[in-house]
Amino acid sequence: MRLISIVFLLFLVVSSEGKSVYNDEPQKSFSVSGYVKDAATGEVLIAASVYIKELGSGTVTNPYGFYSIGLNKGSYTIGVSYIGYNTFEQILDLNSDLILNIELKPEARQLEEVVISSVKKNNNVSSLETGTSQLQIESIRRIPAFMGEVDVIKAIQLLPGVAVTSEGSSGFSVRGGASDQNLILLDEATVYNASHLIGFFSVFNNDAIKDAKLYKGDIPASAGGRLSSLLEVRMKDGNSKNFSATGGIGTISSRLTLEGPIINEKTSFLISGRRMYADIFLPLAKNKDLKNNKLHFYDLNAKVNHIINDNNRIFISGYAGRDVFKNEFAGMDYGNNTITLRWNHLFSKRLFSNFSFIRANYDYELGTQAERPDGFEWKSNLEDHSVKADFTYYLSPGNIIKFGAATTYHHFLPGSARGTGSESLFSEFILPDNFALEHGIYAMSENKIGKNLSIKYGLRTSIFQNVGKATVYNFDEAYNSIDSTVYESMDFYNSFSGLEPRLGITYMLGEFTSIKASYARTRQYIQLAQNSTAGTPLDIWFSASKNIKPQVSDQASLGLFRNFADNSIETSIEGYYKKMTNTIDFKDHAALLLNPKLEGETRIGESWSGGIEFLVTLNLNKLNGWVGYTLSRTERTIAEINDGKPYAAPYDKPHNISVVLNYPITKKLHAGANWVYSTGNPVTFPTGRYEILGAVLPIYSKRNAYRMPDYHRLDLSLTYSKMPKPGKKWQSEWNFSLYNAYGRHNAWAINFVQDENDPNITKAELTYLFSYIPSITYNFKF
């Protein structure tokens, strides 16, 4: 820890010395600080733009809605803007520190004209972020959704640079990365498996969520542990003004969210539940054996926050979700649980801090129901406990220093199987637990230099330690296990550490155009033992160890951003190149479950990904949405796979287009449409065949030498909103959606089979999951 402190101090000294260059006036400096909130609900607004007109610069609110700007004595015009809200402006005479809490009024829905304001809305151009997308829940709600279930992850999958792993999956690949290279956080807690029903729905209940932000490469130094992306999902804090309820009744699930103040505006709560009830359809099934099956999932989100005083706030939030499949013979259930305790503390009006304690857990179990000789149960569990401290120091407009540290204790129970009942033939089979510590410390600084140049630089140091008790297998060069080493409890028997520099530069070319460049190194110490493209809930996470080196990625990107028509059309072109080392793939016919020698199944090499992403975002008078196109390639080279020759990574989709549009036909009726197109996934097909006992066995091509057919799909939706009657709070809307509107049979799998009538004939067969799927959802709010 002493080393950590020294690194910190060095950083701060360096950073603050850097500051003195443009902070050299002897004038006394004061701060304006406070929170930006929604005037109707009291929800804090994240990334609202706070702007000092006279200086031509400002800041954005942090994830807790807080902002602070250091200013010299004087008179200023402060402006605050946020999409979908009326802009706030006020003149300040600053001669002491000032607390200014600002409540923005939501733009009335009927007003469709663009509100022209003096406050800049070119944040996408001027910000120091490249490759990031912030999605507001309101805009996600208008996107046509599968089964009418509005879903953050499904919306993220429509962004350029993001590819879906397979039809219907909640997995996504960011800039060619694997789906386990995305760090998915719900109120800072890691969500290890973000999918319900093997991916058709994600674990995020839209009604409980305020905001989602995806970092596709320019991951801030405050986060680490995954190579490709960071998806930060934040829950609503709960309405602090009035009690309100939001809900929906859908074709497949229903939702209810209750929120409101507990003590004045100081304490508020939110509780939100969702249950999917596919099993209510089962009694309609023709096969009578299906009628007693259970098939459902649920999500429960809860949050309480309390404002102790101006300088202290606490938040407690939790999530619990589970999928349950059961019939009379066997059953399976799995889910995530998270809990986050947070304390926001202002050491001064300029030094904001947050301390978090986080617990995240993912587990599954499956087994037989009845007392039988093959009765068994199989369990696996992964649990994290983390502590984090994050500090932000607001020096002057455009100049911010952030630093902090985090430690996570990972506890893996990769799997245990045992017989159940007295009759069972199975012995107890337990894969030993694994323990590890993962630490990160970081410092970063954002500086505005002159009028046009902003830079952001940061350094993260990550440390990973394997901790006993553990049994580690030793492998020879042919990956055969030769022996094993047992480490005692609390024996720190292996560790890795490394620096992760992050850099971002934005250069403004006038008010509406900028060039941005960024570089980021990321390191990943835990990964998913997943061999298939979409994966199953049974896939387990395994850590770096003596046999598995951490994965490392270096990514550079360059972007041109330009806004048109008073920032109502935003365009960008971003190119990136990413080089990854210690890339993990698995040997042919790998056994990844209940295998104590899992590490011997891995094959290590390197990979690269490069691409160009085009994005046009429309925020016009009526028409809203975006059009994205990505041109990219991703390849892996691993000595023992494909004869050591490069092969397309599983999510390599050279062309990827997404069009998302919504349009108000009348004040009450909104139409939405999205269309996606992508090159088919790379795939290995047979080129030869041979016969064994009458069965035709394939001889395969080189790895991923073929492609699945191209994927494309159109979804449509129509939302009919009933305006609240004067004096009444009840609002409701009907949503009709049509998934895969032109009923394309998109290939989910392609298999090669023998003809039933003449087994000598072999043929290819395409499996598709959906033709078109209509659904109706009724949503209400009061």
Partner 1 sequence: MKKTFLYLSFSLLLAFPIIQSCTEPYDIELDNSYARLIVYGEITTDTTAHVIRLTRSADYYYNLPAEGVSGAIVRINDGIREIALSESETEPGSYQTGADYYGVPGRSYSLTIDNVDINRDGAIEAYSASSELPFMAAPDSIRLNYARYPFFQGSEILLFAKDPAETEDFYAFKVVKNGIQQTDSLPEIIVQNDQLFNGNYTNGVSVQFLDDDKPGEKVSPGDTIVFEMFGITSEYYNFIVQAQTALFGSNPLFSGPPANVTTNLSNGALGFFAGVNVRRVGAVAP
Q: Which of residues 87-106 bind partner 1 (CB under 8 A)?
A: none
297 lies in the site for partner 1, by CB under 8 A: no
What is the distance of C-alpha 632 from the center of its chain? 21
285 lies in the site for partner 1, by CB under 8 A: yes
| Residue with Cβ nearer partner 1 (484 or 687) | 687
Please report how close the Cβ of residue 673 comes to partner 1 at its closest, in angstroms: 22
| Residue with Cβ nearer partner 1 (88 or 378) | 378
Phi-psi region of 336 (alpha: psi -120 to 50; beta: other; left: phi over 0): beta
- In the list 117, 536, 567, 568, the residue contacting partner 1 (rule: CB under 8 A) is 536
Count of C-beta atoms within a 10 Å radius of residue 18: 18
Residue 386 makes CB contacts below 8 A (sequence gap 6+) with 189, 356, 357, 358, 359, 360, 406, 407, 408, 409
773 lies in the site for partner 1, by CB under 8 A: yes
Please report how close the Cβ of residue 646 comes to partner 1 at its closest, in angstroms: 15
Cα(20)–Cα(57) distance, rounded to whole angstroms? 18
Q: Number of residues in contact with partner 1, rule: CB under 8 A? A: 96
| Residue with Cβ nearer partner 1 (639 or 761) | 761
760 lies in the site for partner 1, by CB under 8 A: yes
782 lies in the site for partner 1, by CB under 8 A: no
| Residue with Cβ nearer partner 1 (297 or 512) | 297
Binding mask 218-257 for partner 1 (x = CB under 8 A): ----------------------------------x-----
Nearest to 181 by CA among 557, 496, 649: 649
- In the list 54, 93, 138, 289, the residue contacting partner 1 (rule: CB under 8 A) is 289
481 lies in the site for partner 1, by CB under 8 A: no
What CA dihedral angle connects 692, 697, 700 and 704, to 10 degrees? -150
What is the distance of C-alpha 301 from the center of its chain? 17
586 lies in the site for partner 1, by CB under 8 A: yes
| Residue with Cβ nearer partner 1 (20 or 760) | 760
637 lies in the site for partner 1, by CB under 8 A: no
- Tell whether the torsion through CA atoms of 305, 441, 556 and 446 is positive or negative: positive
Angle at 177 between CA 175 and CA 182, to 5 degrees: 100
Work out the burial of residue 38: count CB atoms within 10 Å of its CB; fewer than 13 is exposed, 13-18 middle, 19 or more buried. Answer: buried
* CB-based contact 609:176 (threshold 8 Å): yes
Please report how close the Cβ of residue 106 comes to partner 1 at its closest, in angstroms: 36
Work out the burial of residue 615: count CB atoms within 10 Å of its CB; fewer than 13 is exposed, 13-18 middle, 19 or more buried. Answer: buried
491 lies in the site for partner 1, by CB under 8 A: no
756 lies in the site for partner 1, by CB under 8 A: no
Please report how close the Cβ of residue 432 comes to partner 1 at its closest, in angstroms: 16
The region of 46-54, 260-268, 405-413, 417-425 touching partner 1 under the rule CB under 8 A is 417-425
| Residue with Cβ nearer partner 1 (234 or 274) | 274
Residues numbered 724-753 forming contacts with partner 1, rule: CB under 8 A = 745, 747-753
Residues numbered 22-51 forming contacts with partner 1, rule: CB under 8 A = none
449 lies in the site for partner 1, by CB under 8 A: no
Residue 637 makes CB contacts below 8 A (sequence gap 6+) with 605, 606, 607, 644, 645, 646, 647
Cα(458)–Cα(442) distance, rounded to whole angstroms? 7
DSSP 63: T
| Residue with Cβ nearer partner 1 (322 or 460) | 322
The residue with tokens 């493209």 is 533
666 lies in the site for partner 1, by CB under 8 A: no
Nearest to 711 by CA among 752, 769, 660, 765: 769
DSSP 10: H
- In the list 29, 474, 531, 637, the residue contacting partner 1 (rule: CB under 8 A) is 531
Please report how close the Cβ of residue 689 comes to partner 1 at its closest, in angstroms: 5
Binding mask 357-396 for partner 1 (x = CB under 8 A): ---------x-----xxx-x-x------------------
282 lies in the site for partner 1, by CB under 8 A: yes
Residues numbered 668-707 forming contacts with partner 1, rule: CB under 8 A = 684-695, 697-701, 703-706
Cα(217)–Cα(226) distance, rounded to whole angstroms? 10
Residues numbered 147-176 forming contacts with partner 1, rule: CB under 8 A = 147, 165-169
| Residue with Cβ nearer partner 1 (325 or 519) | 325
- In the list 27, 369, 532, 621, the residue contacting partner 1 (rule: CB under 8 A) is 532
| Residue with Cβ nearer partner 1 (666 or 757) | 757
* CB-based contact 652:633 (threshold 8 Å): yes
Residues numbered 589-628 forming contacts with partner 1, rule: CB under 8 A = 589-590, 593-594
Please report how close the Cβ of residue 549 comes to partner 1 at its closest, in angstroms: 22
Residues in the chain: 782
| Residue with Cβ nearer partner 1 (147 or 212) | 147
What CA dihedral angle connects 128, 132, 135 and 139, to 10 degrees? 90
Bridge partners, residue 102, by sequence: 36
Please report how close the Cβ of residue 587 comes to partner 1 at its closest, in angstroms: 9
287 lies in the site for partner 1, by CB under 8 A: yes
SS3 149: coil
- CA-based Rg of the chain, rounded to a whole angstrom? 27
Q: Encoding tokens for residue 358?
A: 């986080």
200 lies in the site for partner 1, by CB under 8 A: yes
Cα(273)–Cα(296) distance, rounded to whole angstroms? 13
Cα(316)–Cα(237) distance, rounded to whole angstroms? 9
